[in-house]
């Protein structure tokens, strides 16, 4: 027989337990029901064909050569209502609404767009089919679309306007200079030092080394360098100082030979031109540098001129030249290499000064006019930047958006 106290204790222990059991029994349906519903849903989804997709919109891709069509569609209603009921979308195309249909692509259920490759002038009708575990839905057909090549890339309007403004400024100032107007061009010490360097080489009885950069003729820096080479060759011809021009590409070599020859002819010293002074070395970057370093260390030219496009070899050239005691003048528009030249060379032409050097040396009015055009274009760009910053600050983004281009 249990005591009353014991019966009370046992009751008190059983009482909370009973409540727990009752609560659990009441909760079970609410826990099981969603799972059961989901299972039912999955079971239903596995057997029910999904609803067709919404409207299919087709559009010729803009600003291209008529080789792309953009297809978009709204998702099948079942995609959201019954997760798992749509597993993929098939995209098909045909010359007309009656077929024959060719599958273009099969995309995941989360993708609602497709870009199809085609040819200019071709007309296509597209249809998109939702696919689920239960099968394929009824396809939704689009209207026909014809791919057309664009005559103008509308995303580049800002570039076109800027280019026309720039060309207009250059033509205006070039005409101005040709009509006799004197144009002021600030002194560029690096260019003035070229003749001084060549004079130094003449006094020491040594040669001048001219490196026109490491890129091919399609790089404008190489072209600018070759234009300067003619003026340099003219001075070396006048002083009867040997010039050595190792080149990195064969086409650059042929042009450099012409520039040096023209320089000697312009100085009235055609007989002094040595065709072997301009030579092709190699196209490999560090082999080229090794060859030039060898020339520097063996021949010890008194003046080294590096004008053009350079990369990692810039410091190798400049430091090797410094170790030989040569006067060094460098110029490049490769921003990353400028610090190395500034540190290791006596004079450095920075960025646009390389392009201005040809006009600066020749003093030809039309070339000086193009420099003026560039300067005024810089003013226009600075004004656009200031206006853009102010407008962005006050929350007007359309100005910036206008200049964004592809």
Residue numbers 122-151 binding another protein by CB under 8 A: 149-151
Residue 304 gets which letter from DSSP? E
Taking the complex as a whole, the smallest distance from the CB of residue 81 to another protein amounts, in Å, to 42
Where does this chain touch another protein (CB under 8 A) — which range of 34-42, 87-95, 257-265, 394-402? 257-265
Q: Exposed, middle or buried, 58 (CB in 10 Å: 0-12/13-18/19+)?
A: buried
Closest to another protein by CB, 63 vs 143, is 63
Candidate list 33, 55, 343, 387; residue touching another protein; CB under 8 A: 343
Where does this chain touch another protein (CB under 8 A) — which range of 5-13, 50-58, 97-105, 260-268? 260-268
213 closest CA partner among 179, 166, 251, 252 = 252
Mark 60-89 with x for binding to another protein (rule: CB under 8 A) and - for no binding: ---xxxx-----------------------
Asked whether the beta carbons of 338 and 310 are under 8 A apart, the reply is no
Is 184 among the residues that bind another protein (CB under 8 A)? Answer: no
Q: Strands of 68-73's sheet, edge to edge?
A: 56-60, 68-73, 113-117
For residue 385, is it left (φ>0), alpha (ψ between -120 and 50) or beta? Answer: alpha
Taking the complex as a whole, the smallest distance from the CB of residue 22 to another protein amounts, in Å, to 58
Closest to another protein by CB, 129 vs 222, is 222
Candidate list 48, 49, 136, 265; residue touching another protein; CB under 8 A: 265
Is 160 among the residues that bind another protein (CB under 8 A)? Answer: yes
CA distance 280 to 253: 6
What 3-state class would DSSP assign to 275? Answer: helix
37-to-31, 51, 100, 186 alpha-carbon distances in Å: 11, 20, 42, 83
Taking the complex as a whole, the smallest distance from the CB of residue 94 to another protein amounts, in Å, to 25
For residue 284, is it left (φ>0), alpha (ψ between -120 and 50) or beta? Answer: beta
Q: Which of residues 268-297 bind another protein (CB under 8 A)?
A: 270, 276, 279-281, 283-287, 289-290, 294
Q: Which of residues 346-405 bind another protein (CB under 8 A)?
A: 350-352, 354-356, 358, 366-367, 370-371, 373-374, 377-378, 381
Closest to another protein by CB, 42 vs 220, is 220
Residue 46 gets which letter from DSSP? T
Q: Which of residues 232-251 bind another protein (CB under 8 A)?
A: 249-251
Widest Cα–Cα separation across the chain: 138
Backbone angles phi, psi at 153, to 5 degrees: -85, 105
Taking the complex as a whole, the smallest distance from the CB of residue 391 to another protein amounts, in Å, to 19
Closest to another protein by CB, 135 vs 294, is 294
Q: Which of residues 98-127 bind another protein (CB under 8 A)?
A: 120
């Amino acid at each position: 027989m249990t005591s009353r106290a014991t019966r009370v204790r046992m009751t008190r222990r059983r009482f909370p337990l009973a409540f727990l059991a009752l609560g659990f029994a009441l909760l079970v349906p609410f826990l099981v029901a969603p799972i059961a519903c989901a299972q039912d849903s999955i079971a239903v989804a596995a057997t029910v064909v999904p609803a067709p997709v919404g409207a299919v919109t087709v559009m010729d891709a803009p600003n291209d050569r008529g080789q792309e069509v953009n297809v978009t569609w709204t998702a099948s209603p079942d995609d959201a209502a019954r997760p798992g009921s749509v597993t993929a979308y098939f995209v098909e195309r045909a010359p007309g609404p009656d077929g024959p249909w060719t599958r273009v692509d099969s995309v995941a259920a989360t993708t609602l767009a497709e870009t199809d490759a085609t040819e200019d002038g071709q007309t296509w009708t597209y249809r998109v089919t939702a696919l689920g575990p239960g099968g394929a839905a009824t396809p939704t057909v689009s209207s026909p679309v014809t791919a057309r090549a664009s005559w103008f890339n509308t995303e580049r309007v800002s570039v076109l306007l800027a280019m026309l403004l720039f060309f207009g400024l250059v033509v205006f100032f070039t005409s101005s200079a040709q009509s006799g107007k004197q144009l002021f061009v600030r002194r560029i010490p690096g260019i003035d030092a070229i003749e001084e360097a060549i004079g130094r080489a003449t006094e020491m009885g040594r040669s001048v080394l001219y490196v026109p950069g490491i890129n091919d003729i399609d790089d404008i820096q190489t072209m600018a360098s070759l234009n300067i080479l003619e003026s340099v060759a003219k001075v070396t011809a006048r002083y009867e100082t040997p010039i050595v021009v190792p080149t990195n590409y064969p086409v650059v070599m042929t042009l450099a030979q012409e520039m040096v020859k023209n320089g000697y002819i312009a100085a009235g010293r055609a007989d002094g031109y040595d065709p072997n002074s301009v030579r092709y070395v190699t196209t490999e970057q560090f082999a080229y540098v090794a060859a030039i370093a060898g020339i520097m260390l063996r021949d010890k030219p008194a003046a080294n001129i590096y004008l053009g496009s350079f990369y990692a070899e810039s410091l190798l050239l400049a430091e090797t030249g410094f170790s030989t005691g040569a006067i060094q003048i460098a110029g490049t528009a490769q921003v990353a290499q400028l610090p190395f030249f500034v540190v290791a060379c006596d004079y450095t032409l920075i960025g646009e000064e390389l392009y201005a050097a040809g006009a600066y040396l020749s003093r030809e009015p039309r070339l000086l006019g193009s420099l003026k055009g560039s300067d005024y274009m810089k003013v226009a760009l600075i004004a656009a930047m200031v206006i853009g910053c102010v407008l962005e600050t006050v929350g007007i983004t359309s100005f910036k958006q206008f200049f964004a281009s592809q």
